[in-house]
Amino acid sequence: GTAGKGIDFAVNSTENVSSASNVGKVLMDFEEGEFSPAITGESGSSSGLSATRKGYYTRIGDIVHVTIFIQNSSWTSGPSGTAYIGLPFTVKANFSSAGTLGYVNNFTKTPQRINAFQNTAKLYLFKYNTSSVADNSGFTNLDGSEVNSNSEIYAQVTYRVA
């Protein structure tokens, strides 16, 4: 039978193209779904959090595209330590990915950059730590204490899964 064997694209092979590499011709995974993302801290999560949280993902093979919307409305206490947003799948080893911030509002320090790091299911938030941003040395991790009870973020990232 063909159940669980994926879609075979071998007929559409590019073997006659000298620069192409046919590592895989069978699509083994396609999935769409939703999850509830939250801004968390490495040293502790928020407690008493009330928020609108929406996360959507599409997985095709080992590539996942995620869109995130978080709108905090209140909490008893905020996150502590390095701030991150949980992802639905673990990022593949040696394949960290940068994402895009579409909108941020009401942070003590405004996030300027996001990265999905290898071997984690975490999307880390970064801020400028100097006035010089000519290279990556101008960035540092956003701390959970710099996220406010009414912070909002729209973000997206595409990454390879483990």
10-residue mean pLDDT profile of the chain (162 residues): values are: 64 57 70 93 80 94 95 83 92 91 90 89 85 62 88 94 88
CA distances for 3 relative to 6, 10, 21, 26, angstroms:
8, 17, 27, 13
The reported pLDDT for the residue numbered 35 is: 96
The reported pLDDT for the residue numbered 133 is: 52
The reported pLDDT for the residue numbered 43 is: 87
CA pair distance 98, 47, nearest whole angstrom: 28
The reported pLDDT for the residue numbered 149 is: 87
CA pair distance 157, 87, nearest whole angstrom: 10
pTM: 0.80
CA pair distance 112, 103, nearest whole angstrom: 10
The reported pLDDT for the residue numbered 104 is: 92
| Residue 100 three-state SS | strand
